[in-house]
Structure 1
Amino acid sequence: MNDTPETLNLDAGIESIPIPEILPVVPIRGLVLFPYTIVPLAIGRRLSLNAVNEAHAGNGLLLLLTQRDDTLENPAPEDLFDVGCVGQVMRMVKLPDGNVSALVQGLGRVRVDYLSRTEPFLEARVSPLSESELGPLAPELEATIRSIRDGLEKIASMGRQMSPEVMLIAAGLDDPLRLADLVTANMGLKTDEAQTVLEAVDGRERLELVHRLIEKETALLEMQHEISSRVRGELDSNQREFFLRQQLRTIQKELGEIDDLEQEIEELREKADAAKIPETARKEVNKQLRRLGSMHPDSAETSVVRTWLDWIVGLPWSNLSTDDLDLKKARTVLDRDHFGLDKVKERIIEILAVRRLNPEGRSPILCFVGPPGVGKTSLGRSIAEALGRRFVRHSLGGVRDEAEIRGHRRTYVGAMPGRIVQGISQAGTANPVFMLDEVDKLGADVRGDPSSALLEVLDPEQNHAFRDHYLGLDIDLSKVLFIATANVTDTIQPAFLDRMEIITLSGYTEEEKLVIAKRHLVPRCIEETGLKVSQAKFAPAALKLLIAGYTREAGLRNLQQKISAVCRKLAVDVASGKTGPCTINPALVERLLGPRP
């Protein structure tokens, strides 16, 4: 800053202190500085620190401008109000973290003529705002001033924090405009309301504005007191009702009666006994049962605890299905449902053989990787049938929230367990075949990384004590046979991939597709469309045309769609009475489906 700047006097300033026309600027948030008021400021932004240091090293004067948006960290000139207050740094203390604590006294209002963002701080050219004289006080104006004084006392009596010094100064002030500024600065108004008062240079307009703001604040405080009194009365009423209900329960017990909530608690206790819940979890269940018994039946917390207990007693803690380890039957099931895939079937038979010889051994985590339609999901269902276990499938495609896996904490409204616990509950046994479909399509965002949560699920060293956020208890997943599916492995986390055994399903040859179409796809499509076998006989040449000419894929999904399309068109003819038994040849395929692509 220039050491010999052009100066000006502020009409509202303290003792007409000469003010330079160019001042360093400190943007402030959530606060408006008024003349004659002293405020403490905590300053930490770089430009503001430089401006305060510059002012403190010179004449101690700076310009405080309020930000239009409190959330901006580095406001531009257009983000600051055009009218501010010149302040004088009375005391400044440098803190250990490099920030500054300063005590600043307001001198007078100024308008910013030009504001530049220069280094090392913001700088403004200012001109004073001259206040209009009030002149002789008319009765109406005297009444307004008296209402302002009375309103300030009323606000203080209703609980608004007002220091005794402020009340003492307000009682002794003869200058109505200084009184208006003092009241506005200490009333805790919104920033835009206080800024409106700062910009009001007409004395009468300022007094009327402050009077309206005091009336508004008084009305808000009265409403707040009314609401508080009503809530306090309702709380007293609820407490009285609670004690009466407790007495009623005691009387009912003496008479051998029991209310609905007590009966429900007893049923939950019986279910908990039947579920054979582990000892550590049972302690928490007993605690929540006692807590439920002391609650009001209609309270929101009662519903939360009741729902939590329903989930706990409904889980199959010790309900295990018996594995069917007949290798011959397993081969029959796999060959019946899937043609080809010999290496995959052999690996599954190996798993069953190892489990037969070592029932307590750990199950591997299989991951079927292959293009769509090669039978990854149906293969998992066949494994469950071969083992005699329940089958559960959850698709993880597009899941981006960790809570989808671990569940939401009970503090959230509508909280539920994660997909793992839901799947175990759905299966009804503690050792189902659990398929995690589309694991390569998991995502991550600000809510967490679901794949990281799955690491605990798939790690044999950890999954015996998996903790769901909603339940808050350890769940044993070591007996579950997890199977994952994916189209590619590129998008799977290395740590996640490392816990799984990759089994690649590359696809089917044309000969394998032809056999599968004859055995599975054609009968299924004929049944779905309501045709009879005699009404839709596919010639081998027609199937070969569909495979080679209309579908070019590793899997069978498009082939099934084309066969289904042919059957639907035949169904239209049959429903219209146009045709009887029909053999589908290549020419008919081209007529029904159009030219091959």
Structure 2
Amino acid sequence: MELNNFYNSYLFSELADEDAEELIPLDLTGEDDELEPGDLPEELPILPLKNAVLFPGVVIPITVGRQKSIRLVKKAYRTNKIIGVAAQMNSSAEDPGEKEIYKVGTVAKILKMLVLPDGNTTIIIQGKSRMEIKQVVQENPYLTAKVDLLHENFIEDENKETVAIIYSLKDAAKKILKLNPEIPKEAQAALENINSFKFLTHFLCSNINTEVKDKQKLLEINDGNKRAEALLKYMLKDIQVLELKHEIHDKVNTDIDQQQRDYYLRQQMKVLQDELGNGGAEQELDELRAKGLKKNWSSEVAE
């Protein structure tokens, strides 16, 4: 399955919002086309996200609910469609200001804006380049800031170290997919179609099962190869947790199966004994005791 098909299959079934706790990263082409400083306006509108960290190249749908955010995306969509996206430090903040968002975020392009029948506004954005907020210019009617682009160095050459990291990341991802049945099978197809080391890292950074603060730490690592190594540590930890869960689950299932088996056998024995007119070992012992009482035995023998 091509990445485009993966995108089309899951775009509308996995809509996330500003309160989203998990996002499935979707990609149109696997290319992220980093921006240059001249591509940005002098002041960039900043969209805070409660429970998400956007990485370059990754495409995600977001349902926007806050009035400030709705005004921001509607104006941006009418102009150059370029916005800044930054994760909130505290997901419970309903009106996050300068001190409540991380300074390192991602410049994104709004690919599509949809107004759904329920009145919610949904945007589909793709991360372009990492950025750092240098100065917040205003907080009303929405956050705007002056930012600097953060470029990163990924060694795409097929040297031994890079090849080893790529194989390790893909191998860890396959293990997680196998251990976690909740992840769509199409994710495996998407994974196989990723050839860029940079995009592979960003795709997996978006998809790992960890907290926002951990994903934020990954985003803030400037060296791409070091980010991939840090990502691998999180993935190996996730594998250990998933394997432990499976061990516990299998043990519990084994215990239950043994109990069910014993109960079933006892029930079967009872049915057979009833059919044969045999009340079982206890009834047989009672009959023998009754016969013994009728015998003229010495006390020692009777005992």
What is the rounded CA distance, in whole Å, between the counterparts of 1:160 and 1:243 in structure 2? 31
What is the rounded CA distance, in whole Å, between the counterparts of 1:170 and 1:256 in structure 2? 63
Matched residue, 1:581: none
Count of matched residue positions in the alignment of Structure 1 and Structure 2:
247
Matched, 1:100 2:126: no
Matched, 1:152 2:173: yes
What is the rounded CA distance, in whole Å, between the counterparts of 2:49 and 2:255 in structure 1? 42
Matched residue, 1:34: 55
Give the CA deviation at 1:180. 0.7
Q: Is the 8 A contact 2:49 2:85 kept in 1?
A: yes
What is the rounded CA distance, in whole Å, between the counterparts of 2:35 and 2:143 in structure 1? 25
Matched, 1:184 2:205: yes
Matched residue, 2:65: 44
Q: Is the 8 A contact 1:42 1:101 kept in 2?
A: yes
Matched residue, 2:22: none
Corresponding residue to 2:135 among 99, 103, 114: 114
Highest RCO, 1 vs 2 (Cα 8 Å, sep ≥ 6): 2
Q: Is the 8 A contact 1:86 1:108 kept in 2?
A: yes
Give the CA deviation at 1:219. 1.5
Give the CA deviation at 1:198. 1.1
Give 3-state SS (helix, strand or coil) of 2:40's partner: strand
User: Where do 5+ consecutive residues of structure 2 fail to align?
Assistant: 1-30, 284-303
Q: Is the 8 A contact 1:76 1:117 kept in 2?
A: no
Q: Is the 8 A contact 1:162 1:186 kept in 2?
A: no
Task: After superposition, give the CA deviation of every residue in 1:293-324 in whole Å (9 maximum; x if it has no partner).
Answer: xxxxxxxxxxxxxxxxxxxxxxxxxxxxxxxx
Question: Normalising by the residue count of structure 1, what TM-score does the alignment of the two structures yield?
Answer: 0.38
- Cα 1:151–1:256 change in 2 (3 A) is closer
Task: After superposition, give the CA deviation of every residue in 1:59-93 in whole Å (9 maximum; x if it has no partner).
Answer: 11111111122222222321211111111111111
Matched residue, 2:238: 217
User: Where do 5+ consecutive residues of structure 1 fail to align?
Assistant: 1-11, 259-597
Give the CA deviation at 1:244. 4.6
Give the CA deviation at 1:157. 2.2
Residue type at the aligned position of 1:148? L
Residue type at the aligned position of 1:207? A
Matched residue, 1:124: 145
Corresponding residue to 1:14 among 30, 33, 54: 33
Matched residue, 2:108: 87
Q: Is the 8 A contact 1:32 1:185 kept in 2?
A: yes
What is the rounded CA distance, in whole Å, between the counterparts of 1:65 and 1:160 in structure 2? 30
- Cα 1:237–1:116 change in 2 (3 A) is farther
Residue type at the aligned position of 2:52? L
Give the CA deviation at 1:209. 0.8
Corresponding residue to 1:76 among 82, 93, 97: 97
Matched residue, 1:240: 261
Matched residue, 1:62: 83
Give the CA deviation at 1:167. 3.5
What is the rounded CA distance, in whole Å, between the counterparts of 2:58 and 2:156 in structure 1? 24
The 5 A counterparts of 1:452-491 are none
Give the CA deviation at 1:191. 1.3
Q: Is the 8 A contact 1:68 1:81 kept in 2?
A: yes
The 5 A counterparts of 1:566-577 are none
Corresponding residue to 1:208 among 207, 212, 229: 229
| Aligned alpha-carbon RMSD (Å) | 2.9
Give 3-state SS (helix, strand or coil) of 1:127's partner: strand
> Could you say which structure has the larger radius of gyration?
1
What is the rounded CA distance, in whole Å, between the counterparts of 1:216 and 1:46 in structure 2? 39
Residue type at the aligned position of 2:33? I
Residue type at the aligned position of 1:63? G
Q: Is the 8 A contact 1:64 1:86 kept in 2?
A: yes
Q: Is the 8 A contact 2:209 2:238 kept in 1?
A: no
The 5 A counterparts of 1:132-531 are 132-134=153-155, 136-163=157-184, 166-244=187-265, 246=267, 254=279
Task: After superposition, give the CA deviation of every residue in 1:144-203 in whole Å (9 maximum; x if it has no partner).
Answer: 221111111222222355556544443344432221111111233321221121111112
Give the CA deviation at 1:220. 1.6
Q: Is the 8 A contact 1:158 1:221 kept in 2?
A: yes
Task: After superposition, give the CA deviation of every residue in 1:271-297 in whole Å (9 maximum; x if it has no partner).
Answer: xxxxxxxxxxxxxxxxxxxxxxxxxxx
Residue type at the aligned position of 2:166? I
Give 3-state SS (helix, strand or coil) of 1:14's partner: coil
Give 3-state SS (helix, strand or coil) of 1:231's partner: helix
Matched residue, 1:472: none
Q: Is the 8 A contact 2:154 2:198 kept in 1?
A: no
Give 3-state SS (helix, strand or coil) of 1:20's partner: coil
